[in-house]
Chain A
Amino acid sequence: MGTGIFENRYFKFERSVKNGIMKFRLLYSRRKAYRLRKQVVQTRGETILNRKLKRAIKAYSRKRFGTKAYWPYLAYYTELKGEFVDGWIPYDYYRYMMLPSINPQYSTEISEHKTFDHRIFGNFSIRPLYIFVSGIFYDADFNQVDAEQLIKSLADHNDYIVVKEERGTHGKQVRMIHASEFRLDIINRKLNYVIQPYVKQYKVINDVYPDSVNTFRVLTYLGADGSVSIKFSILRFGIDGSKVDNLSSQGQFIYFDEKGKPSEQAYNILGIPTGSSHKNTGFKYSDFSIPMYEELIEACKTAHRKYPYIRLVGWDVCVDEHGKPKLIEWNADNPGFYPEEALFGPFFPDDDEIFLS
């Protein structure tokens, strides 16, 4: 389609518009960093950031990332941690510079296709009862299933099921209903869905907080030599009757160190400590221990090896009643990062890992 100058101008224009949008995004993201920092200072009642510290942060930002403009997130991290730590990655850099280069966009899209997970990861993911793709129902092996037959066999299922909308985020597009209540009109025919059996969670995890399915978030990294390592691992749970464990829906988390030892305290989405035991169940976090923790970590590593197209993956894993780790979903587009990095990082002190050059 070589129509010469016109096309070149067009691409130039497209590029400059894209750059403009990116600048706007960075600006917007930094405004959020100010707000986060303010919130932390407000909760603490004191600020530790002074002129000297700010200067050090800006110097670090310029030295490592080429511009001091990345200081707002680093300042927020500093307030949260109580000190400045060399090696941190500011969230805006992580999201808009690092992730696009280590997780190319066309390779991350498949992580949002929940109807596809079991085909990539096999037994690690929950085997769907049914899936709904392009207006047709299928079983897990992609054999077409008649809608009436599906309702009949769901009526016999006699347990809860989970209906997940593809491309839904933050657990908002997930519905838990009894199988006998399934109706065709709860499905939007233009979208894809996966229908899974409801997973009863492992006893210890249930004891932490029984109303939500509490999931581990394990962040794995594929190194330049092909090895997969763990960047961090946390367990999230709901509070105050919430049915979901997402941090964005008031959920909290505990952090596990390399040996699998839990943090004394739980934290909220801002990274502010919320106490050493669950406010509703009274579960003491330092007592948390499950025998299959290592197995869970290994399962995430093995799964990442099956999809080496991206370097960083956030795995949402629960443990079923028999103690088997089960993949709920995986995130390659924008796996959460900032309170963890501030409190327990730096996870990427090595410039080679973030492909700065």
Chain B
Amino acid sequence: MVGYITKMYFWFERCIRKLFLIINLVQLRRLAHKDRKQVVKQKGKSVVTREIKKAIKEYARERFGSKAYWPYLAYYSEMRGEFIKGWIPDDYFTTVVEPKLNPLNYSNISGVKTYDHRLFGEFAIRPFVLFISGLFYDADLNLIKEGQLKDVLSDYNGELVLKEEFGFGGKQVRFIHSSEFKPELLRRGINYVIQPSIKQHKILNDLYPDSVNTFRVASLFKKDGSIEIKFVILRFGVNGVKVDNMSSGGQCLYIDPFGIPSKVAHDNLGLAVGEKHQNTGFVFADLKVPMLEDIMESCKTAHLKYPYVGLVGWDVCIDEHGKPKLLEWNAYNSLYAWVDALYGPFMADDNEIE
């Protein structure tokens, strides 16, 4: 009897999970249609003819087992101006590829921002104070009593960054001067990492000075144990925004493996938004990143320290001395769909996504 109930229960749970997956897929595809329409509207023309649609569906059936994955591929085709075999539609990526490459129980630690410096050492910014389980700790996890906190802060006397653990899209990041810091600013039940604010390198500051502009480096752990960099983009804020996240209106440049930036910047849909920064007038083609090699090497080394996940998106800035510093790493939503569309395909090899 009990065995029967257990079986029923697991069956029920499986059904529910499948149902959620289907709802999720439907929603993602609605989004793909919406985004495609927007691209067509902006470009004023559509390249997805009946013939191309047929070719897309055929490719989807052949590679992903169902033609239902066509909407994202059609959206990519509109963006790129042609259909290219080898693309991974975003719905397939988020529901099939990513869960396989980055099992949830291994990828969750990427959200634990208070742990980064313990995993990656010098590459991460050494935190000033940690707030874990309602307690204050220093970077070496020595307990700081609330009375001592004041002294620690007044010794520092500079700008701080308060980051909420498991915060997304830069919305959970606050900048504050150490003299204004109060424990009441932190919500109980949430962990925070409190870091010294980073002064960014001149080349990034010239591009746009109000946000810390970060490189997003996507790296893949390959079957032979080596790491391959899939792409690098550089994100920056606009219009006085303090963060560079694309979801907060930020824009970005694609940087090719030789360090040459794309001529035009893109918004978070991947649409072109001009050849100059709209506020600073910085000409994107003039950007040179001499430390790109260093950035990519740092990401590779870091990924080798945590080979539990296959695909990682690293958010890296360059400090005033030219050293790459890790701001955040993402084992969830690690690939940007539109980057694959415009500059990919990056995951054309079936072996890599198995």
Residues of A whose CB lies within 8 Å of any CB of B are 1, 3, 6-7, 10, 14, 17, 21, 24, 28, 31, 106-107, 109-110, 112-113, 133-136, 138, 142, 144, 167, 192, 222, 224-226, 305-306, 308-311
Among B27, B109, B112, B166, the residue within 8 A (CB) of A7 is B27
Among A28, A107, A133, A308, the residue within 8 A (CB) of B308 is A133
Q: Which stretch (B36-44, B127-135, B248-256, B339-347) binds chain A?
A: B127-135
On chain A, the residues within 8 Å of B5 by CB distance are 28
On chain A, the residues within 8 Å of B137 by CB distance are 308
B234 CB, nearest partner CB in chain A, Å? 24
Q: Are B141 and A224 in contact (CB under 8 A)?
A: no
Interface size on B, residues (CB 8 A): 35
A109-B106, A109-B108 provided; 4 other pairs, C-beta below 8 A?
A3-B27, A106-B111, A135-B225, A136-B224
> Could you write out 11 A-B pairs with CB less than 8 Å apart?
A3-B27, A17-B16, A31-B2, A109-B108, A135-B223, A136-B224, A136-B307, A167-B105, A308-B132, A309-B112, A311-B133
Q: Are B9 and A222 in contact (CB under 8 A)?
A: no
Is B23 an interface residue, CB under 8 A from the partner?
Answer: yes
Q: Are B23 and A10 in contact (CB under 8 A)?
A: yes
Q: Are A222 and B31 in contact (CB under 8 A)?
A: no
If A3-B31, A10-B23 touch, whether A309 touches B132 (CB-CB below 8 Å) is yes
Q: Are B308 and A192 in contact (CB under 8 A)?
A: yes
Q: Are B135 and A226 in contact (CB under 8 A)?
A: yes
> Interface centre among B13, B30, B133, by most A CB within 10 Å?
B133
Is B191 an interface residue, CB under 8 A from the partner?
Answer: yes
On chain B, the residues within 8 Å of A226 by CB distance are 135, 143
Among A106, A133, A134, A142, the residue within 8 A (CB) of B166 is A106
Q: Are A222 and B133 in contact (CB under 8 A)?
A: yes
Is B304 an interface residue, CB under 8 A from the partner?
Answer: yes
Q: Are B305 and A309 in contact (CB under 8 A)?
A: no
Is B11 an interface residue, CB under 8 A from the partner?
Answer: no
Is B270 an interface residue, CB under 8 A from the partner?
Answer: no
Tell me, in angstroms, the Cα distance from A226 to B225 when the chains sit together. 40
On chain A, the residues within 8 Å of B310 by CB distance are 134
B12 CB, nearest partner CB in chain A, Å? 8
Tell me, in angstroms, the Cα distance from A78 to B137 when the chains sit together. 42
Is B221 an interface residue, CB under 8 A from the partner?
Answer: yes
Which residues in chain B, 41-72, are within 8 Å of chain A measured between CB atoms?
A: none
> Interface centre among B30, B31, B111, B134, by most A CB within 10 Å?
B134
Q: Are B141 and A106 in contact (CB under 8 A)?
A: no
On chain B, the residues within 8 Å of A138 by CB distance are 307
Among A6, A17, A113, A136, the residue within 8 A (CB) of B225 is A136
Tell me, in angstroms, the Cα distance from A112 to B105 when the chains sit together. 9
If A136-B307, A309-B133 touch, whether A1 touches B31 (CB-CB below 8 Å) is yes
On chain B, the residues within 8 Å of A305 by CB distance are 141, 143
Closest partner residue, chain B, to A355 (CB atom): B189
Contact with A along B1-12 (1 / 0, CB 8 A): 010011001000
On chain B, the residues within 8 Å of A10 by CB distance are 23, 27
Tell me, in angstroms, the Cα distance from A10 to B19 when the chains sit together. 11
